[in-house]
Copies of this chain bind each other. A is one copy, B any other.
Amino acid sequence: MAKEKKVEQITDMEVDFAQWFTDVCTKAELVDYSGVKGLFILRPYGYAIWENIQTVLDGMFKRDGHQNVSMPMLIPESLLQKEKDHVEGFAPECAWVTVGGSEELPERLCIRPTSETLFCDHWSHIVHSWRDLPMKYNQWCSVLRWEKTTRPFLRGREFLWQEGHTLHATEEEAREETLHQLEVYADLCENFLAMPVIRGNKTDKEKFAGAVNTYTIECMMHDKKALQSGTSHYFGDGFCRAFNIQFADKDNTRQYPHQTSWGLSTRIIGGLIMTHGDNNGLVLPPMIAPTQVVIIPVSMHKEGVLDKANEMLERLKTAGIRAMLDDSEQSPGWKFAEYEMKGFPLRIEIGPRDMEKNQFVAVRRDNGEKVICSIDELENETKALLDTVQSGLYEKAKKNLTDNCYPATTLDEAKDIVSKGGFIKMMWCGDLECEMKMKEDVGVSSRCIPFEQEHIGDVCPVCGKPAKQMVVWAVAY
């Protein structure tokens, strides 16, 4: 017989958080490295998490009247150049196709880093009248950005995402869409991924290339760094002018539509890992976990144990719970470690002694708590425990965020916060120079101008001029 599989060890997260993250990515079998730097393989378990995220978001997009489309993956260089700010932002990180078959191409083609130019080119063919608006499109695809340093999920040269692109007759409607889609992302994060968010506006320096406004949701990771988790952009009519997209309104005058786009990527899986994970591996919120419950039979060759385990599996499935049974020949101890590594929210143990008492043991992945339950109450107890794990994870992450957001009124205070870890709430005059100085002197970037403003002081601590707004600053991924 071949030997039992080894239980994999991972680095202690308090010793080396970056290595811990990489260990979880590979040992929980989420990703593998490919032969090209920065292009990662999403293995079945990693992709199943993405599929669940897709299902939630796609349902929300369609509920709100968006339609999926598929745009080409290649953009001619001349098309990318049509909107000036946009090309300046993206051209430096494009990958270029220069040969097709055996021939040098007359014009080089970039692999899409994002698809605003493609949507606008298409819309210039099909938008004519107010009847054609709004255009509410989305696509699921991968994009390429030729980054220098790369990490699984957090910074890939290729990554999977969805990109929504819409056109509206009025600015008001477009701005409403932009904010609504940010709220959709916040809903996903808070209510499915158990990741509390700070909603806000990006500063001009941090906004998307070509956008008038970029809105963001920012999350705090276990190591108190920030992760930008989803962004939504209002473009005004800049691209529409550049691409000559016009519509005849009801009184037949020609107008430029107002545009939005919004995107969320597999980066969010990196966020999930770094928000909830621990030294035993991944921890997944039940709402998004591909498998919510694993049943592990103890002394499984004793009479009736496997039958009981299978019966429980069927009952859980019938109740709409994503459950599996591991009846392989690996030891229970190996199985415990394996499914802890994979972050299954709940483990159910059932053995001969439990059966005698008509009970089972449920073990929560989030805190290791063991709960003894009656088999009669299997479905109810399991559902209640999954709800408890879901809200427990959210509360824990919320506490991490709340406890580690500090106001600062001087640069020294800001530096102190950075050295112990956390987000800085600080007033800002609105000048780019002060924003640059925060980066240089304190080592933080502006994460957002939160919608929920607080009054920390009257002046910008960097320059002493009157402050306009409170900004959240942090070291970010």
Contacts and interface: CB of A to CB of B under 8 A. Distances in A.
Given A34-B72, A44-B67, A68-B44, A101 B94 contact: yes
B95 A69 contact: no
A338 to B, nearest CB: 13
Interface in A210-237: none
Interface string A233-266: 0000000000000001010100000000000000
Contacts of A111: 73, 97, 111
A102 interface: yes
Nearest to A123: B32
Interface stretch (A11-19, A35-43, A402-410, A449-457): A35-43
A79 B109 CA distance: 23
A146 interface: yes
Interface stretch (A125-133, A316-324, A381-389): A125-133
A144 interface: yes
A36 B2 contact: no
A373 interface: no
A135 to B, nearest CB: 9
B68 A158 contact: no
Interface residues of A, number: 62
Contact of A42 (B42, B69, B98): B69
Contact of A68 (B47, B74, B121): B47
Contacts of A302: none
Contacts of A118: 34, 41
Contacts of A458: none
A92 interface: yes
Contacts of A142: 70, 73, 141
Contacts of A94: 101
Contact of A39 (B39, B74, B108, B130): B74
Among A42, A51, A68, A100: residue with most chain B CB under 10 A: A100
A250 B122 contact: no
B67 A42 contact: no
Given A130-B2, A137-B44, A108 B99 contact: yes
Contact of A73 (B32, B102, B144, B250): B144
A79 B252 CA distance: 58
B72 A131 contact: no
A158 B73 CA distance: 8
A5 interface: yes
A160 interface: yes
A336 interface: no
A443 B400 CA distance: 72
A462 interface: no
Contact of A250 (B2, B36, B146, B157): B2
Interface string A144-166: 10101000000001101000000
B97 A101 contact: no
A67 B94 CA distance: 31
A76 interface: yes
A71 interface: yes
Nearest to A99: B96
Interface in A1-55: 1-2, 5, 32, 34-36, 39-44, 47-48, 50-51
10 contacts: A2-B130, A35-B76, A36-B72, A40-B72, A41-B72, A41-B122, A47-B67, A51-B68, A74-B95, A92-B101
Chain A to chain B: the 7 pairs with minimum beta-carbon distance, closest first: A39-B72, A44-B67, A42-B70, A96-B99, A101-B146, A100-B146, A34-B72
